[in-house]
Amino acid sequence: MLEREASEAAGESENTTLALALAETEKAQPPTPPKSAEAVESPIGSRQKESALTIAKLLSGEDPAATETKPVLEKTTPAATTTTTTASVGGGGGGGGGGVRSKRWLLGGVPEKVRRSELRRAELGFRVSAAVFCLVSLSVMAADTTPGWSGDSFRRYNEYRYTLAASVLAFTYSGFQLVMEVHHFVTGKRIIRDPLGKYFNLAMDQILAYLLLSASSAALSRNDVWVSRFGVDQFAKLINASASMAFLAFVALGLSSIISAYYVFSTVF
């Protein structure tokens, strides 16, 4: 019995010594960090989880293959969008090119500088023509005093005096425009500076053009009444010639007003 008690006491002492040694080694070793959820999960657990999700989707009526391909479609969608955007940009460029081509077709491919110089020449030609027509009109009307079987005169009729006054005004204005052009050609400066000069040209062209149209229409109508009553004589022929020249002056000033309007609107827009 004594030997047994001695052996048990020795075993207990050995166990106590081993426990103390293990405790010291555990204190000496650093604590191990906790494992993440992904590390804790085993491949077998993940497979079971995937199979459970698949069964749940089947029970709910969803297609697992479609749900699996959704991320792929989402990834490929930006590429399709980029392609569509590129195509739209290309189409816009094509449309812009078409707009430029149509503009070039309308303008005949003429540069801006050349086009403006041609417009200046045309405007100068119209103003010279208006001045010449107005000069012929007022000269013929002023000379129409004594011819005719009754020795009649244009001063006795308001329509003829109206035509003479309109021709004088239009001739004076056309002469002033020619002086302005010569001054600009010699000095390079405008007597009436832009944009006021462009507005002045447009307004005066419009006013005098309509004035000449009104005067020539009134004179031709009055002369038609004269011819219907008393027949054609030299006096009526001269009235017709003067009113016709006034109408041609109206056409020249009307075309000149179109060019003046182009200058004004090109400045505004």
Distances 192 to 163, 176, 184, 195, 200 between C-alpha atoms, Å: 29, 11, 10, 9, 8
Q: Give the model's pLDDT for residue 103.
A: 46
Average pLDDT over residues 154-162: 86
Task: Fill in the DSSP letter of residue 195.
Answer: T
Q: What is the distance between the alpha carbons of residues 188 and 203, in angstroms, rounded to a whole number?
A: 23
Residue range 211-224, pLDDT digits in tens: 999 999 999 999 89
Q: Which two tokens stand for residue 99?
A: 């707009």
**Residue 234: which pLDDT band, with cuts at 50, 70 and 90?**
confident
DSSP code string of 67-101? HHHHHHHHHHHHHHHHHHHHHHHHHHHHHHHHHHH
Phi-psi region of 109 (alpha: psi -120 to 50; beta: other; left: phi over 0): left
Nearest to 198 by CA among 115, 256, 114: 256
Residue range 42-97, pLDDT digits in tens: 445 556 667 667 776 666 655 555 555 444 444 444 444 444 444 444 444 444 44
Q: Is the pLDDT of residue 182 over 60?
A: yes
Q: Is the pLDDT of residue 210 over 90?
A: yes
